Structure 1
Amino acid sequence: MYDHHTFSSAEEVDQLFRHYHIDRKVTHAEKLSGTTSGVVWKAVTQSGEAYIVKQDHPEQLEAVQQFLDTHKNSKLLPDVLFAAEDRSCFAYVFIEGTTHFNRGLKREWMAVLIRELLHSYQPHQNLRAGAWVPHSQESWKAFNLAGIEEARSNIGDALSSEDHEQVMEQAEKLFEDNLAGVEQFFLHGDTGVHNFVFDKSALIGVIDPSPMIGPLLYDFLYAFCSSPDDIDMETLEYCAAFLEQGKADISRLWEETLIQLYCRIGICIKHHPHDLPGYLQAWEEWKNESSQQGERERWNA
């Protein structure tokens, strides 16, 4: 068995393949770095095929495998090669391309994401209270407030205390009913450009899910805010028009985008600081557009 053991060589990864009756000799294995937990290897076989081998906590890997199995009809998700009986590791087909960069227009890759992944989501039935995977907060409201506080600790003085208070008040209002009556889905949970694979500026793959239960709008807006370009009302409305399920009215979209954008700035400062100037510009523009829209709505009321 391979639980509680971290691979250290191509030979050990090859032994794992043979253990699961994969008749493809591993000749090279490279340990990859990332921001997620666990250990990740890229294994290349003698015939040139490439696979990702991932080791992590069994509960996390079980959730990832379940997500990939549930949405196996999506053209963007990798095919699972095998999974360990003890859920200590699993392997899937490596998707060749670039992540984060050379991604083309946001409205183009967002349309592909919606059509090829979000439309494959199925409603998650018979939810129990607090059934967020892998998050343990007692409610959707608590989950979002915790995310805002975590973002604040990373943001520091990059944004004002007034900005933080505005986001907290908005979240308190939007999630007060904990999504009562809102359909919930088995989500990817980390739909950011750092987990998107592009080829010639076209979105061809989505990797590294952090599965959880929640509204489809969460994955949609997480993706929308995951790069600092084109975070504007026009692009948001254009992309939202492709949604066939998990829809929300424009007012709700605008308000939730402000929350997601704030949280994304916290992630940016921690993991992608080179994107910060673009996000700070997007933040000011979004606040201004949101304020103008609020004035228009009050005028038309």
Structure 2
Amino acid sequence: MLINPTINEINNLFKMHHINEEISGIQSLSGTTAGRVYRLSTSLNKHYILKSDEPEQIHIAQQFLDTYKNSLLLPEVLYTDPANTHFIYTYMEGTTHFNRGLKREWLTRLVKELFNTYVRSTDTKSWGRIEFPQRTWKEFNQISIQEAKMNIGSILTTDDYNLVQFKVDRLFHEEEEKFLLHGDTGVHNFVFAQNKLIGVIDPSPMVGPILYDFLYAFSSSPDNINTETLFATFELLEQVEMEKSRLIEEALVHLYCRIGLSNKHHPDDLPEYLKAWQEWKRLCQEL
């Protein structure tokens, strides 16, 4: 694993793998618990990302980016270390989280240019996170809502948890179509420029239905969590068919999990999420 690489080391790596750029600066960015992320700059103000991590993490991320390399929303992989300790890919200039523009607009582009390119997974046995596989899609979702319950604490009631548990037990009893997913399609991993979505970064690949990535993205910011935005963008998904009643129920499950993440990482978003929760509970009761 490359830790605190020097400019000389990076330039030697570039030369060795016929990347015709000369790096003049290295900036350390935030990484994972085990990994490191560096932004590499050239004298001509071009940028690249060097990411080092555990070999399994690098391998599955590179596998995802290679599978969907034709998507303009994903960075291009320039080089992957044979031992899968690090890889280099193109940098996307913009901001994450902020200056997003309308959710309907960025979610539309996400559907058309990424989710509609998804291919079926060849993994016949496991579901969920590739590094932590589960036997069924229901098991993966049960673990997700258990983690959410711990993060939520007393913000929502036991009745709220029981409602979501009931939905998971009822919705995910059949075999789903399985695709290779990004796995972390939230606004924190979307790059925006001039209020437009221009990129998707940091895959945490998993296998499951396309709807998971779609609803994860839909619920990843508290603005416009409404049926109008949901239905309009859902209709653009080319490989997913579903009754609107089930779509609403699955959105409720995702919203519960997102409230847990919001309480843990983005408490400022909680008031809007809790308001949305009451509305989506009402929608489910009317089904």
**TM beyond 0.5:** yes
How many angstroms does 1:126 deviate by? 5.4
Using the size of structure 1 for normalisation, the TM-score is: 0.90
Is this contact kept in 2: 1:233–1:289, CA < 8 A? no
For residues 52-91 of structure 1, what are the structure 2 equivalents within 5 Å?
52-91=49-88
For residues 14-53 of structure 1, what are the structure 2 equivalents within 5 Å?
14-34=11-31, 38-53=35-50
Is this contact kept in 1: 2:137–2:172, CA < 8 A? yes
In the alignment, which residue of structure 2 is the partner of 1:284?
Answer: 278
Q: What is the aligned-residue RMSD (CA, Å)?
A: 1.7
Distance 1:237 1:190, change over 3 A: same
Give the one of 103, 106, 119 matched to 2:103. Answer: 106
In the alignment, which residue of structure 2 is the partner of 1:236?
Answer: 230
Establish whether residue 214 from structure 1 lines up as the match of residue 211 from structure 2: no
How many angstroms does 1:161 deviate by? 1.3
SS in 2 for 1:231: coil
Distance 1:184 1:10, change over 3 A: same
Distance 2:31 2:64 in 1: 20
For residues 1-301 of structure 1, what are the structure 2 equivalents within 5 Å?
4-34=1-31, 38-125=35-122, 127-130=124-127, 132-177=129-174, 180=175, 182-292=176-286, 294=287
Is this contact kept in 1: 2:21–2:42, CA < 8 A? yes
Dislocated runs of 4+, deviation >6 Å: none
Distance 2:273 2:108 in 1: 22
Distance 1:214 1:37, change over 3 A: farther
Count of residue pairs brought into register by the alignment: 287
SS in 1 for 2:78: strand
Using the size of structure 2 for normalisation, the TM-score is: 0.94
Q: Which runs of 5+ in 2 are unaligned?
A: none
How many angstroms does 1:69 deviate by? 0.8
Letter in 2 for 1:107: R
In the alignment, which residue of structure 2 is the partner of 1:299?
Answer: none
Distance 1:267 1:195 in 2: 15
Is this contact kept in 2: 1:183–1:246, CA < 8 A? no
Is this contact kept in 2: 1:189–1:212, CA < 8 A? yes
SS in 2 for 1:29: strand
Distance 1:118 1:131 in 2: 17
How many angstroms does 1:20 deviate by? 2.7
Distance 1:260 1:131 in 2: 15
Is this contact kept in 1: 2:125–2:135, CA < 8 A? no
Letter in 1 for 2:181: L
How many angstroms does 1:56 deviate by? 0.9
